[in-house]
Chain A
Amino acid sequence: MQRAAGALALAFVLEAVQIASMPPISRGFLGRRREQPDPSRVPPGQHVVQDFPVLSYGPTPRTPTAEWTFSIDGSVQDARRWTWDEMLALPQERITKDIHCVTSWSKLDTVWTGVSLDVLLAEATPTAKWVTAWCDGGYTTNLALADVTGGKAWVAHTFDGAPLAADHGGPARLLVPHLYFWKSAKWVRGLTVTESDEPGFWEQNGYHDHGDPWTEERYGASFR
């Protein structure tokens, strides 16, 4: 009897907690959910867009492909550097992936062409577990080696069958589609393999260190 009363009291408490944590309802707000495709492809807090928004913290750099190189250095057995033509001579992959921006838009079935980082890293042979991608314009982002190997990351130079536009990161950007898109560094010029995890630009400016969209790893600790 006492136990039953206890369970009843607990049920009341649970209900009260649930009510207290309910978000406020915006009466008359319907949303556009019918337009949303397969919900299993849209991470929590994201919405699908048809356009391709541009977000960058500074001016768009414009490096001619004749001057472009891609380097892998740092904690590696063989530091390597490729010219544009050498990059295009490597095995190319056509990649169709959904991409997710921390500002809450997702774009499904984006089609890219590029070179797998597996191919590039195999030639350099990393001896440590982290990489920092660095870019024209000064941008950096940090990634675990495990997040850019095993068919998960590319240097992409073609979007939707055309050369990648400068404001989207051309001539080439990193493509790491399983993480929020700030990790897919625009205007990428190289990877430095590092012994420890070294936060990059946005990781020092309020974004999460890792950036998994499925667990909403959006923001880091307060940075004020």
Chain B
Amino acid sequence: MTEIPRATEGRTDPSAWRLASVREVVHETPRAVTLRFAVPSWPGHVAGQRIDVRLTAEDGYSATRAYSIATPWVGSAASTIDVTVEQLEDGEVSPYLVDVAAPGDELEIRGPIGGAFTWQPSDGGPVLLIAGGSGLVPLMAMVRAHAVAPSQTDVRLLLSSRTLADVLYRAELQALASAGTVRLHQTLTRGAPSGWSGSTRRVDAAMISAFAPPPAAHPRIYVCGSNPFVEAATGALLGLGYDPASVRTERFGPSAS
């Protein structure tokens, strides 16, 4: 039996479990909440990275799942780590995080994890972000990193959601788009309100072509969503002539439950 490492005060070891306390719970949509963690020993992270969250039951049973971080690390003692969790039917961990977790609760996290799906303002652009549903979470960390820098980079976000009620961070995105911080194009695939000015179909080549910097501008491209969403969006991108090496993907699946 392997000894399981417990939360420590380790500073840079991504394998170390760290105590995290829930500072705030924000109800984003009927199915998703943002848990705002305070982690005193956190070493910092780059937008796009993820954490592992571990829950432990009273008898010692534990379960671990990976979640993307929605916020950039701004380096001050007041920094928090936001993860937005969508409740998956039949999930083991997400129903607890969405329905039960409350301010003051303590659990364990480790990370940051993943050095391939990252962007920080010094990386430059232009940047094209394509998100399906809760795939917005790690891309929102990039949008927020860009907004707080503030950077002059051309950052565009193409966001596909089921309905308006399913759009994460809706008010914040609208404010960032109105201020010109990001260019935003939204599509709603399962019904739009009257007067909707966005698209109402799944992301396709025509939608990308009308919104994105052209291939000749060599954008850094990040695509995140379900596997079918990522396959469709990346297939369209390659068909339009974007360099496969410029496209990074993250795929959310039932395994993240």
Contacts and interface: CB of A to CB of B under 8 A. Distances in A.
Interface of A: 21-33, 44-45, 47, 49, 51, 53-61, 101, 103-105, 137-138, 167, 201-202, 204-206, 214-216, 218-224
Interface in B104-118: 105-108, 110, 112-117
27 contacts: A23-B17, A24-B19, A24-B107, A25-B58, A26-B96, A27-B58, A28-B96, A28-B100, A44-B4, A47-B63, A51-B255, A53-B255, A54-B251, A55-B251, A56-B251, A58-B234, A58-B245, A59-B238, A61-B244, A104-B52, A138-B245, A205-B114, A206-B115, A221-B12, A222-B12, A222-B13, A224-B43
B62 interface: yes
Interface string B224-254: 0001000100110110000011011111011
B7 interface: yes
Contacts, number: 141
A219 B14 contact: yes
Contacts of B66: 103-104
A28 B108 CA distance: 16
Given A57-B249, A60-B234, A216-B15, A206 B114 contact: yes
Given A25-B58, A30-B57, 17 more contacts: A21-B6, A22-B6, A23-B7, A24-B56, A25-B56, A26-B55, A29-B55, A47-B64, A57-B249, A57-B250, A58-B234, A59-B234, A59-B238, A202-B116, A206-B115, A224-B45, A224-B112
Contacts of B114: 205-206
Given A214-B2, A224-B43, A49 B116 contact: no
A71 B141 CA distance: 41
A53 B254 contact: yes
A55 B19 CA distance: 28
Nearest to A208: B15
Nearest to B257: A49
A21 B247 CA distance: 42
Interface string B40-71: 00011110000010111110011111100000
Interface of B is mostly: mixed
Interface of B: 2, 4, 6-7, 12-15, 17, 19, 43-46, 52, 54-58, 61-66, 92, 96, 100-101, 105-108, 110, 112-117, 227, 231, 234-235, 237-238, 244-245, 247-251, 253-256
A90 to B, nearest CB: 30
Contacts of B250: 57
Nearest to A54: B227
B215 to A, nearest CB: 14
A28 B96 CA distance: 8
Nearest to A214: B2
A33 to B, nearest CB: 5
A101 B255 contact: yes
A56 B244 CA distance: 13
A31 B110 CA distance: 20
A26 B46 contact: no
Max chain B CB contacts within 10 Å: which of A59, A221, A222? A59
